[in-house]
Structure 1
Amino acid sequence: METAYETPSPRAILIRTNGCALLGMPPPSASLLFSPANGSGMHSPRGGGAATKASGCGKARGLGTSSHFGWSRTNRRTMGVPATRRCVEWLLGLYFLSHIPITLFMDLQAVLPRELYPVEFRNLLKWYAKEFKDPLLQQPPAWFKSFLFCELVFQLPFFPIATYAFLKGSCKWIRTPAIIYSVHTMTTLIPILSTFLFEDFSKASGFKGQRPETLHERLTLISVYAPYLLIPFILLIFMLRSPYYKYEEKRKKK
């Protein structure tokens, strides 16, 4: 039985050739363009139809599109991670930078001689203590002075180092000192915030001067100290969970 061949039109050849070229596939061979017809369209001599080849092009285009979108999502994630890390590093760097004058000119007045401070700084501390009714800085108890002494000896030298490391960025060596600092600071803030929240200042003899009495006054005072608990907590999570900083520690262990 003689097989009938159907010659495709020039337009059909052009469409198939350009279509596969746009998909990054080689153009169809002559055996596919001039294939036998059985009334249902063009078929290859082995029985594979144009529909099969067309579906192949469609699958190739589908895979290419999926790969493109997958690559785009991966690329966005890869580019977003350093940007997010830099935002956190800038937050931490500004935190440590702002902590230096607060520690030097406000907190340490309770443990250093008064003669070291100008009248303006002493008046500023008095205004703050009375305005926010902070009993710890009006007449600091012994346990609070011990925290301030640790701030002077251990934390204050660390502040400029941490400021440099986080503002510069990509300083993996800061990981261990930052973890130590964050744990130490959160440990000291827990008894301070607990005192503001639960202490009955009307019966406590260890606190003199103005003290918070209402819940609003207590919460206002807690809001002043809360950032020094929350930001060290962010620092701790960032150092423990950031793949960038964790990789350095693993590489050193090997």
Structure 2
Amino acid sequence: MAAVLDFIFLCYFITHIPISIFVDAQVLLPKWIFPTKVVELKAWYCAEFKDTMMIDPPAWFRTFVYCEFIFQFPFFIVAIYAFIKGIKNCSWIRTPMIVYSAHVATTTAAICFHIMYNDFSKSKPKGPTTQLERQALLMFYFPYLLIPMLMLTNFIFRVDLQTKQKMQ
């Protein structure tokens, strides 16, 4: 089971890099920096799923994106290295992985609660108002809650790494 989870986590980190660079970075940087197709993709996504956080990001959301680039993005590279080399060969990754996954699960939980419970009826731009619209938007963020929660649980209770860390 550990090998399957390691593969899922590796894919998560690999796919997170282009998403961070081409989508999330649009919250912080001017449009002209990005290829037109990427800007159009974000515009389509925002219109289709009414993601007000990406259209007109509140300060708290911008803070999460800054944290993504300052702390998380460099960690993506480190994590990919550890998963490619083999987690059992990189027992040092256990503590950073726990810190990373707890941080991401916490920030994404805040985003998910915002989507589910915020009153978007008076917001400009228009956010999701029906339960179906909220659930559709939530499905884009939910993997970034679920996978870090799995990661956190896995690395807290992973016996092979605990034993190896104690021996070092």
TM-score, normalization by structure 1: 0.63
Q: What letter corresponds to residue 104 of structure 2 in structure 1?
A: T
Does structure 2 conserve the Cα–Cα contact (< 8 Å) formed by 1:179 and 1:235? yes
Question: How far 1:109 sits from its partner (Å)?
Answer: 0.7
Write the mapping of 1:78-93 to structure 2, written as runs, cut at 5 A: 84-93=1-10
Cα separation, 1, equivalents of 2:158 and 2:92: 14
Structure 1: gaps of 5 or more residues = 1-83
1:199: which partner in 2?
118
Question: How far 1:237 sits from its partner (Å)?
Answer: 0.9
Q: Which has more helix, going by share of residues?
A: 2
**SS at structure 1 position matched to 2:53:** helix
Residues 26-84 of structure 1: CA deviation (Å, up to 9, x unaligned): xxxxxxxxxxxxxxxxxxxxxxxxxxxxxxxxxxxxxxxxxxxxxxxxxxxxxxxxxx2
Question: How far 1:213 sits from its partner (Å)?
Answer: 0.9
2:163: which partner in 1?
247
**Which stretches of structure 1, 4 residues or more, deviate above 6 A after TM superposition?**
none
Question: How far 1:251 sits from its partner (Å)?
Answer: 1.9
CA-atom RMSD in angstroms: 1.2
Q: Is 1:173 the counterpart of 2:114 in the alignment?
A: no
Considering only CA atoms, is the larger Rg found in Structure 1 or Structure 2? 1
Cα separation, 2, equivalents of 1:209 and 1:130: 10
2:153: which partner in 1?
237
Q: Is 1:136 the counterpart of 2:56 in the alignment?
A: no
Question: How far 1:222 sits from its partner (Å)?
Answer: 0.9
Residues 111-151 of structure 1: CA deviation (Å, up to 9, x unaligned): 12322212111111101111111110011111100000000
Q: What letter corresponds to residue 217 of structure 1 in structure 2?
A: E
Q: Is 1:105 the counterpart of 2:11 in the alignment?
A: no
Cα separation, 1, equivalents of 2:38 and 2:119: 30
Cα separation, 1, equivalents of 2:73 and 2:139: 22
Does structure 2 conserve the Cα–Cα contact (< 8 Å) formed by 1:93 and 1:164? no
Matching residue within 69, 81, 106 for 1:187? 106
Does structure 1 conserve the Cα–Cα contact (< 8 Å) formed by 2:52 and 2:127? yes
Q: Which has the higher relative contact order, 1 or 2, with Cα contacts under 8 A spaced 6 or more apart?
A: 2
Q: Is 1:118 the counterpart of 2:26 in the alignment?
A: no
Residues 181-217 of structure 1: CA deviation (Å, up to 9, x unaligned): 00110111121111110111113xxx42231111011
**SS at structure 1 position matched to 2:4:** helix
Aligned length: 166
Does structure 2 conserve the Cα–Cα contact (< 8 Å) formed by 1:136 and 1:144? yes
1:8: which partner in 2?
none
Cα separation, 1, equivalents of 2:167 and 2:29: 43
1:163: which partner in 2?
80
Structure 2: gaps of 5 or more residues = none
Does structure 1 conserve the Cα–Cα contact (< 8 Å) formed by 2:120 and 2:126? no
Cα separation, 1, equivalents of 2:109 and 2:2: 28
TM-score, normalization by structure 2: 0.94
Question: How far 1:95 sits from its partner (Å)?
Answer: 0.4
Question: How far 1:174 sits from its partner (Å)?
Answer: 0.9
Q: Is 1:211 the counterpart of 2:127 in the alignment?
A: yes
Cα separation, 2, equivalents of 1:200 and 1:210: 11
